[in-house]
Amino acid sequence: MRGPETSAAERIEALRLRRGEIELALGQPGAWDDPAATAQFSRELAEISEQIALWDRLTDLRRALTDALRMAAEEGDQELVALAEEEASRLEGEIQTAEAAWRALAMPADPRDNHDVILEVRAGTGGDEAALFAADLLRMYTRYAERQGWRYEVLEMAENQIGGLREGIASIRGKGAFRQLRHESGVHRVQRVPETEAQGRIHTSTATVAVLAEPADVEITIRPEELRIETHRASGAGGQHVNKTDSAIRIVHLPTGLVVTCQDERSQHKNRDKAMRVLRARLFEQASQAQQEETASARRSQVGSGDRSERIRTYNFPQGRVTDHRIGLTLYHLAEVLDGDLVELIDALNRAEEEAALT
C-alpha cells in the first residue's frame, strides 16, 4: 500500500517532468510572442520550481537526521554522542517547519483563494433568537475582518424590530480573504437561554452563512438582456428615506432565476451597484461549484462539503464552548471567538485540509 511519502515522491517526479516541458516550450522560436501565454508559463514554472526546491531541501534534512541519529547510536565518544543528539534535535525542528511549508505548497490551488468575499448571513430556525444569533455572527466576522486589517462594507441589512438580523450581506476585501473564510459556509447552531425565557430553558437556534468569492470583471460576463431590473420603495427599518423614494433595487437574472434585492442606500444607483456585485458573486459561485464537481476526484482535500445545509459549528453558551463538527475541535473561549478571534479555528480547518490533501 502506498503511503503519503510515496505519493509525494511521485508528485515531485511529475512536477520535474512538467518543468522540463515548460522550459522546452519557452525555448522554442516565437514562444515569447504571446505575452499572456508566456506569463502563465512563467507563473507555473515558478510555482513548480518552489515546490521542487522545498522537497529537495526536505529530503536533504531527513537524510542528515538519519545520519545524526545513527552517529548518536553508534558513536562511543560521549561528547560526540551529545553533539549528534543536539544536531538531531535541531534537524527535527527544521524538518517540522519544512513539512508545514510543503503541505501548504502541495495543496491543490484554488483560483479563488486571493479573491475578496461577499459574506451572506441569514437567520435560520428559531424565530427572534435565530435573528439575534445571525446578528452576533455578522458582528463576529466584522471583528475578524478588523483584526486582519481588511476593509468591510455592508451591502444589505434586513433587521427585525428587536435588533436581530433576518439577512445581512457584506463585502470583505483583503489579501487572502476567501482562503481564510471559505470554510465558514454552512449552518451555525447556537445553544443558549434567550433573554425572554422566564424558565431558564436552553433554546437551540440556527443561522446560515455563505462565503462567496467576489469575481473580477473579466471572470463573469452578464449581458444586459439577461437582467430584469425593478425599482420599488424600501421597507422596514432604515431611516427617513424608507418608503419615500423608489430607491430599492430588485434584479432578476433570467437565465438562472437568481434574485438580488438591495435597499440599504438612499441612492438607486448605489443600490444597483451593490446588487450587481452580489449577483456576480453568486453566479461565480455557481460556476465554481460546477467546476469542482467535475474535478471532485482530484479535490479530496475538502473539509466538509461546503454545503450551506451542513451543520458545521455549535456555539454553546452554558458551557462557554465552540465545537467545529467537521474536525472535532472544541474550544472553551466562546466570548473571544464571538469577538472575532477566529484564528485558532481557521488555522485548524486549513491544516486539516492540507493533511487530507497529502493523504
For residues 124 and 3, which has the higher predicted lDDT (pLDDT)? Answer: 124
- Which residues, 6 or more positions from 110, have their beta carbon under 8 angstroms from its beta carbon? 179, 182
pLDDT digits 0-9 by tens, 151-161:
999 988 888 88
pLDDT digits 0-9 by tens, 255-302:
888 888 888 777 888 888 888 888 888 888 888 776 555 444 433 344
Interatomic CA distance for residues 39 and 32, integer angstroms: 9
pLDDT of residue 280: 85
pTM of the model: 0.64
pLDDT of residue 103: 72
What's 359's DSSP letter? -
- Tell me the residue ranges of DSSP E strands in the chain: 116-123, 151-159, 165-173, 186-192, 203-214, 227-232, 248-253, 258-262, 311-316, 321-324, 329-331
pLDDT of residue 38: 85
Q: Extract long-range pairs of 138-143: CB within 8 Å, 24+ residues apart.
A: 138/165, 138/168, 138/170, 139/338, 140/337, 140/338, 140/339, 140/340, 140/342, 141/170, 141/172, 141/181, 141/184, 141/340, 142/170, 142/340, 143/339, 143/340
Question: Could you tell me what percent of the chain has a pLDDT over 90?
Answer: 40
Interatomic CA distance for residues 281 and 178, integer angstroms: 12
Q: Quick check: helix, strand or coil at residue 240?
A: coil
- Domains in the chain, please, with CATH? 4-106 (1.20.58), 112-359 (3.30.70.1660)
261 within 8 A of 158, measured Cβ to Cβ: no
Rounded to the nearest integer, the mean pLDDT of the chain is 84
Is the four-CA dihedral 302, 304, 307, 312 of positive or negative sign? negative
Number of H helices, E strands in the chain: 8, 11
pLDDT of residue 242: 47
pLDDT of residue 292: 59
Grid cell for residue 345: 479555528
Q: Quick check: helix, strand or coil at residue 75?
A: coil
pLDDT digits 0-9 by tens, 293-319:
544 443 334 455 444 567 999 999 999
Is the four-CA dihedral 133, 139, 142, 148 of positive or negative sign? negative
139 within 8 A of 240, measured Cβ to Cβ: no
pLDDT of residue 236: 58
Question: Could you tell me what percent of the chain has a pLDDT over 70?
Answer: 85
DSSP codes, 89-146? HHHHHHHHHHHHHHHHHHSPP-TTTTSEEEEEEEE-SSHHHHHHHHHHHHHHHHHHHH
Out of 41-45, 72-76, 281-285, 288-292, least confident range: 288-292
pLDDT of residue 106: 67
pLDDT digits 0-9 by tens, 115-153:
889 999 999 999 999 999 999 999 999 999 999 999 999
Residue 337: pLDDT band (50, 70, 90) is very high
